[in-house]
Amino acid sequence: MVKKISDTEQLIDFIVDVLIEKKAHDVVILNISQKSSITDYFVIANGEVAKHVKALADELEDQMRTKMKRKLLRSDGLIEKEWIVLDYGEIIVHLFIPSQRQLFRLEDLWHPKKIKVV
């Protein structure tokens, strides 16, 4: 029997592909659907510096809008660019500079068993 891929799983795959194409580091997917009512998944990734984090966010927002026809619901951190959050409803994307990711350690807070992509 062939497993049917959900729309959410397709979006996650698309998001990860865009981030990897733009040279994001340490991409991790967390299924938090059993722990939170705000979203089902976190996708977490690093940029090298603040400018790279902003470029990742801009590219992802553009690609989601144009290719997946998904509008960004809300965002935060676009001014500081050290931790940018992009909310797509069932998926929330967190983009960090390495020091901020290490400081906040979202993976450890939400899901000690993470799925590391790259």
Q: Which two tokens stand for residue 76?
A: 């935060």
Interacting residues of 46 by C-beta distance below 8 A, sequence separation 6+: 24, 25, 26, 53, 95, 96, 97, 98, 101
Can you give the pLDDT at residue 35?
A: 83
Can you give the pLDDT at residue 109?
A: 79
Instruction: Please name which of 68, 41, 52, 51 lies closest in space to residue 19, comparing C-alpha atoms.
Output: 52
Q: What is the C-alpha to C-alpha distance for residues 14 and 16, in angstroms, rounded to an integer?
A: 5
Can you give the pLDDT at residue 5?
A: 52
Architecture per CATH, domain 8-108, reads as 2-Layer Sandwich (3.30)
Can you give the pLDDT at residue 24?
A: 97
In which residue ranges of the chain is pLDDT below 70? 1-5, 111-118
Q: Could you state, in order of their start, the residue ranges of all structural domains in the chain? A: 8-108
Provide the strand spans (E) within the chain.
Answer: 25-31, 41-46, 74-76, 83-87, 91-96, 115-116
Q: Which two tokens stand for residue 37?
A: 């009512």
- The Cα diameter of the chain in Å comes to 48
pTM above 0.85, yes or no: yes
